Amino acid sequence: MDDTLYLGGYRILRTDAATLADELIAACERREKRRVLFANTNFIVQCRKLLPAMARPSVRIVNDGIGVDLAAWLVHRRRFADNLNGTDFIPRLCRTSRRPLRIFLLGARPGVAERAARRLAIDYGQPVVGCCDGYDEFAALSGRGELAARINASGADLVLVAFGNPMQEQWMLDNDDAIDAPLMFGVGALFDFLAGEARRAPAWVRKARLEWLFRLCCEPRRLLRRYTVDIVAFLSICLAAGKGTAATESIS
């Protein structure tokens, strides 16, 4: 890894996609745990109470989106090397691996993970060894304490958790020890994109770092607060924390 920058008290890796993919594949081969969290503006605001748990040695936090890049410039006068987000990084990780990665999909509405699994198998040649939706199936398995056992029995190398912030991060941190899979990612809307439930911005929009605007236009009711009120909260958190870790009392 290259180095790190602190934003809002979060220790965020400053690296590029190729280096990160290589490091994670090597960790997977050694069966070393890595729990990867993609820090966008919503993550910075919503996951404050989880900061102490993110000090676990297995956790890696990486930057996602132009807002985090802007905050890095305002606080540190430095930029991140790459824009790292789960929707682009997971396919890259699949292409980087020298062998197929056994993947377990957790989250999204019933049926969505199964359609996403077909995309992973057809487009990226990855075997999906299990799925669990984020609704009744998740509630039933969690209530009986069977979910971790089911994931472990699948032999998964990689668990993708799609609950959104902060639920996916909470679940990953709570189950870090219980899950045997070396790699686990919080991927937000990835399953919806893979399954065709949500539409990605055109390539030129993503290149211009305007995917947030495209998504806001597509889902104004759901995302308006995130890209207005919450942006102010995000910048306030980052500027108040400055260049170091957040004070303990500001996490609660």
| pLDDT, position 229 | 73
In this prediction, residues 101-116 reach a mean pLDDT of 96
Q: Where are the domains of the chain?
A: 3-251
In this prediction, residues 168-179 reach a mean pLDDT of 97
Lowest mean pLDDT segment, chosen from 26-40, 52-66, 94-108, 238-252: 238-252
Could you tell me what percent of the chain has a pLDDT over 90?
77
Q: How many CB atoms are located within 10 Å of the residue 221 CB?
A: 6
Q: Is 143 exposed, middle or buried (0-12, 13-18, 19+ CB in 10 A)?
A: exposed
| pLDDT, position 147 | 97
Instruction: Please list the helix, strand and coil fractions of the chain in percent, rounded to the nearest 5, in that order.
Output: 50, 15, 35
Tens of pLDDT, residues 114-136: 999 999 999 999 999 999 999 99
Tens of pLDDT, residues 135-147: 999 999 998 889 9
Q: Which segments within the chain are labelled E, that is strand? A: 3-7, 10-14, 34-39, 59-63, 103-107, 128-132, 158-162, 183-186
Tens of pLDDT, residues 37-96: 999 999 999 999 999 999 999 999 999 999 999 999 999 999 998 999 999 999 999 999
- Which residues have C-beta within 8 Å of that of residue 187, sequence separation ≥ 6? 38, 86, 87, 90, 160, 161, 162, 168
Q: Which of 64, 49, 25, 71 is nearest to 186 (CA)?
A: 64
Let me know the angle formed at the C-alpha of 28 by 22 and 32, rounded to the nearest 5 degrees.
115
Give the C-alpha separation, 21 to 85, whole Å.
12
User: Across all residues in the chain, what is the average pLDDT?
Assistant: 91
